[in-house]
Chains A and B, each alone.
Chain A
Amino acid sequence: MNPDRATNIFERYFFSGVSPARPYLLLKGTLLLLAFDCWLLMSSHGGRYNVANFNVSHFGWLDAIQPTPTSALYVGALLLCGVVSLASFFVKPTRWALIAVTFLYTWAWASSMLDSYQHHYLLSLVLVNLCCFPLQSSKDVWRAEVQVSKKGKDVNRVIEAWGFVSLGVTCAIVYGYTAVTKLGADWRQGHALKRLTASQQWMRSLLRSFEDAGFSESTFWGLFALSAICVQLTVSLGYFLASQQDSVIKKPWFYKLVLLLGFGAAISFHAGVEGIHLEIGWFSYYMFWMAFVFFAPARFLFYLGAFLTSPAQKVQSVFSWSQRRPAKSVAVMLTVLVSVLVIGLGLALDMPGGKIAGFGSAIVLLFVFGFYFFKNEFSLIRTWALAVGTSVFLMWASILNSDVRFNFYRYTGYDLRKRGQYEEALNAYVKANKYAPPGKDRKRKEEELRRIVESRKN
């Protein structure tokens, strides 16, 4: 193929028009999920880091340059990642904030093979793509659209969003590989699928109805395995084409069919994965949101986005001060006050990494302050101070009202006990019980350990 022609195809594909609502909603939804994912799911496993000073990272070169990740460092990085992520959800995100989120999240899993979940690698790829998204506020997306529509023009305005198109390609590649790698005999004969799902009640009922219809068990598993391959290939093709739908004016019927099948296949695949209770945290929810934003019609997303962002726009119009440029002294005071608050909340978490998250958030604020102060952008300093302060407060409040600390300390206590460090295990269980939800405490373990520690002293 002529290289110019190839470049033209490449250019037309990646710089095709995309409804601005799509990248906006995908970015915001992912940042929101990521923040609570980091705080409420990932951080509770932090106790396993640097146990017995043993660690192997995902990359040899990383082992050579990084300090051995400790519980505090791992949990601190995740908490801070969540803070920057949620702050970016509240405000018009900046490129450096998205890069910081990507770096912190990626380092968190890459620093140790203890975190070897493939969906974490995929989320890092998603975040790299998000760093390349157009940076838009809700006003940029919806006010502009409303003005255009009032003049009687089409609401389906499109923008250049090559980062969004690239994310579609990333999804197409990943789903494509997951389909192709299932072509091995192990999968095709249904052995792997059987081991994964045989214990599920709904799967057993499905198998029974197949057997009642006269099919053998091996045919059932073989067909089911083959259908999983077809589903993933359909999702892959769907993602590859979905990013182009806003620039195609007259969509042919088969294009519409591929999008419809792609959406249905993506949702059913992840719903099925949820049904077999794999240890993948909230990954399915990221993918549900992604499929929804990629495949839904632009007009529908436009109205949904307008509805979802209207409370924030109303709050802004009620508080008219948010439109005014604050004085230099207000920006300074706010930065100092919020910095003290976030450090205090970080320390109050009573979890390794809380201090790092608190001081880290204060450093983020100082960085924002330094960056915008000399540009006389005091309103951005105020906006970021409020966003970071609110994010740290929500981190503290959500951890306070969840099982994170209970899980963190009981996992830690379990391991310490197994390794014969009874006194440290006792301390961990005491803390776990302090934060235990009703009826779930580990008082018996605590008492047993107390007896062991006392008998060892005697």
Chain B
Amino acid sequence: MSTRKKQILVFLAAFISLQLLAPLTYYLRDDPFDERFAWRMFSGIRLYQCSTWISEKKQTENGVEDTSVDLGPLIHHAWMGHLSRNRVAVIEALLKRRCQVEENLGVTLENQCVDTASRMKEPVTYEIDCKTGEISKTGKGV
């Protein structure tokens, strides 16, 4: 076999392995909502209908207060879909962004989803402590 053919076959082996392995990583991750690159077209999870709430713990003159946040004026509405679909990278970026507001001590985002059979799923809550920047997650959502 010529060297050229050998090089092509090595490239193809790597390219095809990548295509086979990349979707498999979905099943190894602890994040059922991030279905990108897994070729899970029309999956049940993609069709969940979710509601999102976001609240901020603020330091005020009267002490610490919880206030709900209207995200409409803060980000493009297209991001709302990613937040409600539990896209962790987007949620983390938003939580960190909200911590840049001086009086914020912590931010909480909660997603409550209903599956395709209209069953209510366990809510998922993401919380950031603005002092430490630590993000915690509770609930699985599926």
Contact = CB atoms under 8 A, between A and B. Distances in A.
A173 B23 CA distance: 10
A121 B43 contact: no
B9 A14 contact: yes
B117 interface: yes
Interface of B: 1, 5, 8-9, 12-13, 15-16, 19-20, 23, 36-45, 47, 72-79, 82, 87, 89-90, 93-94, 97, 115-117
A11 B1 CA distance: 9
Contacts of A174: 19, 39
A166 interface: yes
A113 B16 contact: no
B101 to A, nearest CB: 13
Contacts of B74: 52, 54, 419
Contacts, number: 112
- Interface size range on A against B: 35 or more
Interface in A370-416: 415
A48 interface: yes
A128 B75 CA distance: 34
23 contacts: A7-B1, A11-B5, A54-B76, A54-B79, A54-B97, A56-B89, A113-B90, A116-B36, A125-B19, A170-B19, A174-B19, A178-B39, A178-B40, A181-B43, A182-B43, A186-B43, A186-B115, A186-B116, A189-B117, A192-B44, A196-B42, A418-B77, A419-B74
B40 A181 contact: yes
A130 to B, nearest CB: 13
Nearest to B91: A56
A7 B87 CA distance: 41
A173 B76 contact: no
B77 A118 contact: no
Nearest to A119: B41
A177 B93 contact: no
Contacts of A419: 72-74
Interface in A11-32: 11, 14-15
Given A181-B39, A191-B116, 15 more contacts: A14-B8, A48-B78, A54-B74, A113-B87, A113-B90, A116-B82, A166-B15, A173-B16, A177-B23, A181-B40, A181-B41, A186-B45, A186-B115, A187-B44, A415-B77
B1 to A, nearest CB: 6
B129 to A, nearest CB: 21
A162 B10 CA distance: 13
Contacts of B115: 186, 191
Contacts of A327: none
A194 B116 contact: yes
- Most B CB within 10 A of own CB, among A15, A121, A419, A420: A419
A144 interface: no
B12 A166 contact: yes
B59 to A, nearest CB: 24
Nearest to A196: B42
Nearest to A421: B73
A160 B76 CA distance: 49
Contact of A418 (B42, B73, B97): B73
Given A191-B117, A418-B77, A173 B19 contact: yes
A128 B15 CA distance: 10
A456 interface: no
A114 interface: yes
B23 to A, nearest CB: 5
Given A10-B9, A128-B15, A52 B42 contact: no
- Most A CB within 10 A of own CB, among B43, B76, B90: B76
A11 B87 contact: no
A257 interface: no
A193 interface: yes
A186 B44 contact: yes
B5 A418 contact: no
Interface string A183-218: 010110101111110000000000000000000000
B87 A162 contact: no
Contacts of B41: 118, 178, 181
- Most A CB within 10 A of own CB, among B19, B38, B77: B19
Contacts of B89: 56, 60, 113
A290 to B, nearest CB: 16
Nearest to B13: A10
Contact of B72 (A169, A184, A418): A418
